[in-house]
Amino acid sequence: MRRMNMSTSQPGTESGYTWSIRVYYEDTDAGGIVFYANYLKFFERARTEWLRACGVDQHRLAEETGAIFIVRSTAVDYRAPARLDDIVKIVSRIERLGRASVDFAQEAWREGTLLATGTIRVGCVDRVALRPAAIPAPVLAALRRGPGVSRELS
The string of pLDDT tens digits covering residues 81-106 is 999 999 999 999 999 999 999 999 99
The active-site residue, picked from 27, 29, 77, 103, is 29
Measure the CA–CA gap between 68 and 109, rounded to whole angstroms: 29
Domains of the chain, earliest start first: 13-147 (3.10.129.10)
Give residue 79's pLDDT: 98
Look up 29 and say whether it is catalytic.
yes
Of the candidates 130, 75, 64, 56, the one whose C-alpha atom is nearest the C-alpha of residue 100 is 130
Q: Tell me the per-residue pLDDT of 54-90, one tens digit each, with 9 for 90 and over.
A: 999 999 999 999 999 999 999 999 999 999 999 999 9
Identify the top-confidence range among 5-19, 107-121, 138-152: 107-121
Cα 130–chain centre separation: 21
pTM: 0.85
Largest CA distance in the chain: 47
